[in-house]
Amino acid sequence: MGYQAPVKDMLFVLNHLSGMEQISQLPGYEDATPDIVSAVLEEAGKFAAEVLWPLNYPGDQEGAKWAADGVTTVDGWRDAYKQFSEQGWGSLAFSPEYGGQGMPGALGAAVQEMWHSSNMAFGLCPLLTQGAVDAIESHASDALKDAYLEKMISGEWTGTMNLTEPQAGSDLAAVRATAEPAGDHYLVKGQKIFITYGDHDMTDNIIHLVLARTPDSPPGVKGISLFVVPKFLLDANGQPAQRNDVRAASIEHKLGIHASPTCVMSFGDNDGAVGYLVGEENRGLMYMFTMMNSARLAVGIEGYAVGETAYQRALEFARERKQGPVMLGGADADQTIVNHPDVRRMLMMMRAQIEVARVLAYDCAAAFDMGARHPDDELRARFDRRGALLTPVVKGWSTEVGVEICSLGVQIHGGMGFIEETGAAQHLRDVRITPIYEGTTGIQAKDLVGRKTQFDGGQGLEELLVDLQITADALEESTDPLCVMARQPLADAITMISAAGKQIVAEENPVLAAAVANDYLMMMGYSLGSWAMARSLLALEKQDDEDFAAAKRTVARFYFDIVAPKANACYHAVKNARAEHYELAAGML
């Protein structure tokens, strides 16, 4: 089996649903012409299929290796990363000011999907570097930008984010790492865990972004600062020189993504690791959220991207495996299991949810592109709100359904799926971290309920509903039978999003708001899926590729009939929530 990037569907979403034409008219994005976008996706697909995919299974089997003098990556990893950097893939969506190619984030999202579909363990390295670049570019001094950004964007150096400590997982108020002032720098001491690519042998420097507390900082999250802590300090020419007091104490033994070194990082075992303050003291959490929000969108992409590969593998297996008499395909049908109704159902469940997740992710990235570059101040703010609203949905819903999709992939393989040699199990093991990475689904749901719904009085939600209604009005004008059929599912989605949103905004019991948050998030994902499919149907009216259009229409009908009703269950869970549901004492659970 070999991964093949779904370039045609990617282009369909970018060009007809997520507004690439409008994005390419923004200042700085003029080079994102249709020809360039298509060429980038074609070449990225080749790199993913020819360079990254062949390393995926061996990487899982071999895994990264730790030794006292550093972490060694899997055979072939260093050469693949060298090619990745030399071909400019890491710099695609970064600012030309520091050597980036200045392409839109929506195009970057599509390319990033390919990296994670073909080799999630590899794709995690540029993912973390991207977040570190975003934080430095947005908040650091010009001196730090000049020292680090160009080589991070080029891929010569990689970046990490160091938040979690043994006693402080998602609760960053409990961070204990310290940073003592020492002239023009700080001396950082402490331990961080779960640090993706915290150490490796692919580049000659690694730039750590570290949360720590200065001596007089206030308690809690208000006392956290952010520091750049390089693995090697730079000499007068900006080149790596003296080794800093930072090391990987060990790497974790994980369920999946074995080739990605997840490190326990020790800072300041001796005199202290030299670190440079980003921005102002005690504002580190705000700065780190720039990095985390970037990473949350990327992890959402990971969820359905691994699902795409699981789908391709399951489909190929189903087209080859013969098992029992089939019921589909007519008298001349081959006897492969793809013609069993239940196998066909599972494949359609996989494909329909992947297609929806792709639209939501590209929409989110496109909103941030518009928010960054649109000349109208009010529209920029509106698009920023849209991107912020969609981020927890993309991260939470897409990763949860990604796990479901990969589990279905194992199921389609039957007993063979439980055997490592078929490769189906790796996708399920790899994707399982995505609902946990960068804040669990519960944290994303709390963010959606709190910051993205209650705190702005539902403004972003109301703006979203306006756009859903525009699509509903367009369906009313269409005479296409499937567009007519789509009217009711979209109307139901609008009703549920509106009613649940009003309930959330009005909810005064914080415990109840938190308790229903997960169902609210999942309802939003399934409901926005109906919006995505409705927009797809309207866009298909202008498509010349009859086979492509026919397949999309069949998937859309399946989504409306079979998948979209899941939103109803989630909506009723929100609507029917009661405080007494959570009164059972912990000891009685």
CB within 8 Å of 583: residues ≥ 6 apart: none
Contact in structure between 540 and 549 (CB atoms under 8 Å): yes
Complete DSSP assignment for 311-365? HHHHHHHHHH-B-S---SS-TT---BGGGSHHHHHHHHHHHHHHHHHHHHHHHHH
* 438 is a catalytic site residue: yes
Q: Is 161 exposed, middle or buried (0-12, 13-18, 19+ CB in 10 A)?
A: buried
84 to each of 47, 63, 151, 540, 584, how far by Cα in Å?
8, 20, 14, 35, 53
Which residue from 41, 29, 7 is spatially nearest to 111, judged by alpha carbons? 41
181 Cα distance to chain centroid: 36
266 in helix, strand or coil?
strand
SS3 content of the chain, % helix, strand, coil (to 5): 60, 10, 25
Q: Is 72 exposed, middle or buried (0-12, 13-18, 19+ CB in 10 A)?
A: middle
Contact in structure between 267 and 192 (CB atoms under 8 Å): yes
290 Cα distance to chain centroid: 14
Strand ranges (E), 518-568 = none
119 in helix, strand or coil?
helix
* 8-state DSSP, 18: S
Instruction: Please tell me the distance from the alpha carbon of residue 13 to that of residue 41, in angstroms, as a whole number.
Output: 13
> Which residue reads 């109704």 in tokens?
341
Instruction: Please tell me the distance from the alpha carbon of residue 394 to that of residue 357, in angstroms, as a whole number.
Output: 7
Contact in structure between 140 and 228 (CB atoms under 8 Å): yes
Beta-sheet pairing, 206-212 with 273-277: unpaired
Q: Which of 156, 438, 476, 580 is catalytic?
A: 438
Contact in structure between 496 and 568 (CB atoms under 8 Å): yes
Contact in structure between 356 and 350 (CB atoms under 8 Å): no
Instruction: Please tell me the distance from the alpha carbon of residue 550 to that of residue 288, in angstroms, as a whole number.
Output: 45
Beta-sheet pairing, 70-72 with 65-67: antiparallel
- Which residues are catalytically annotated? 438
